[in-house]
């Protein structure tokens, strides 16, 4: 178990730029982006989001009302558009049960809400956690590929997303904003310093010591 995640947060805070990871306040745009970014890069997602904005203004009712083929055409730039269109339709059908009231949905217990999200085909562990943190204002660790590689370089090897997440002690002091910050910093740091061993060694956090307990 990694027990000093808050110390890691503070270490990142000293060396990384403080800015918002998602350059939008529109939670519907964030929600769609979290699905569209699966297995692609953000440039492709931007094209798809622009199409959706033009066609629906990110209105959840309009998105749910789209015909499958129309939705597929709009999100085609993001790749895997057939599977992603089905995920979006299932997700929005689930949201419609609460009249698209994101605040009401967010009031659910964290564990219950996470389990519900994971029952939606196409919503995996990482996407569920991103939605919880950025859309539903909960706080949790997002154990993405960059996190897995950074923790491996810091001395904790995991077998994947679920394994790393289960071995992180996440304190209550890390609120939603801090969860968002840490996720963004991990990705940005990884994009810079995980390209090769020399870059990793030149990074300001390469000597950070994880505290591990059995």
- Do residues 4 and 213 touch, judged by C-beta distance below 8 A? no
182: number of Cβ within 10 Å? 24
**Extents of the domains making up the chain:** 5-20+141-202, 27-136
pLDDT in tens, 105-140: 999 999 999 999 999 999 999 999 999 999 999 999
Confidence band of 21 (pLDDT split at 50, 70, 90): confident
End-to-end alpha carbon distance in the chain = 6
d(CA 71, CA 36): 12
Residue 8 has pLDDT above 90, yes or no: yes
CATH architecture of 27-136: Orthogonal Bundle (1.10)
pLDDT in tens, 45-103: 999 999 999 999 999 999 999 999 999 999 999 999 999 999 999 999 999 999 999 99
d(CA 149, CA 132): 23
pLDDT in tens, 24-35: 999 999 999 999
Residue 22 has pLDDT above 90, yes or no: no
pLDDT in tens, 170-211: 999 999 999 999 999 999 999 999 999 999 999 999 999 999
Provide, for the chain, the percentages of residues in helix, strand and coil under a 3-state DSSP scheme, each rounded to the nearest 5: 60, 0, 35
Question: What integer pLDDT is reported at residue 181 of this predicted model?
Answer: 96
């Amino acid at each position: 178990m990694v027990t000093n995640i808050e110390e890691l947060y503070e270490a990142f805070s000293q060396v990384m730029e403080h800015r918002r990871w998602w350059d939008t306040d529109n939670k519907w745009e964030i929600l769609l982006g979290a699905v569209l970014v699966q297995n692609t890069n953000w440039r492709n997602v931007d094209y798809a989001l622009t199409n959706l904005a033009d066609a629906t203004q990110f209105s959840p009712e309009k998105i749910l009302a789209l015909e499958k083929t129309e939705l597929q055409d709009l999100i085609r730039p993001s790749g895997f558009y057939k599977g992603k269109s089905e995920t979006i339709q299932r997700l929005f059908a689930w949201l419609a049960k609460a009249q698209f009231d994101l605040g009401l949905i967010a009031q659910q217990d964290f564990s219950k809400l996470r389990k519900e999200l994971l029952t939606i085909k196409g919503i995996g562990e990482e996407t569920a956690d991103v939605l919880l943190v950025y859309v539903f204002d909960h706080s949790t660790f997002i154990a993405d590929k960059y996190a897995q590689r950074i923790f491996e370089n810091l001395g904790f090897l995991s077998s994947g997303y679920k394994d790393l997440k289960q071995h992180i002690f996440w304190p209550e002091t890390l609120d939603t904003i801090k969860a968002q910050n840490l996720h963004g910093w991990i990705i940005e740091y990884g994009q810079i310093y995980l390209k090769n061993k020399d870059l990793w060694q030149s990074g300001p956090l390469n000597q950070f010591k994880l505290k591990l307990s059995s």
